[in-house]
Amino acid sequence: MDIAVEDVADRWVAAWTTGRTPDLFRLLAAAPAIESNLDPDGDFIELLTAYAAALDSIAVFSRTVIERRAALIYDCTLSGETFRLAEFLTVNESGLITEIRRVYDLDAVERLMPDLLLGTV
């Protein structure tokens, strides 16, 4: 069964932005490749949900899907400041995410959410 990448991306966004951890795990393939410029050695799901919980709002600014890949750019708002997060997903034909790459605005995280950098999420 070939699951649409758009649908998987939408479910992924809905799950991480609302802290629905079980839904996140259901969308991940076994041993997905994960790269992030924020705490690469930490628990990715814990960091993901802590990041979302710390923000005032998260909105998808741009979504591009080409073949089995989705590129998502988010507008993240905290304390009246808006900054960006980029995320790149690779989805297999079964609708499971096999690869995630996240690029955080580390300057904004350092100023607004220093606890995330210290690994005290």
Local structure of 21: helix, strand or coil = helix
- Residue-level pLDDT at 38: 85
Residue 33 tokens read as 């490749």
Confirm or reject CATH 3.40.50.300 for domain 5-117, answering yes or no.
Answer: no
pLDDT tens digit string along 16-25?
999 999 999 9
How far, in Å, CA of 112 to CA of 54, rounded? Answer: 9
Instruction: Tell the burial category of 89 from Cβ atoms under 10 Å away from its Cβ (0-12, 13-18, 19+).
Output: buried
Local structure of 18: helix, strand or coil = coil
- Residue-level pLDDT at 119: 56
Domain ranges of the chain: 5-117
> What's the predicted TM-score (pTM) here?
0.91
How far, in Å, CA of 10 to CA of 6, rounded? Answer: 6
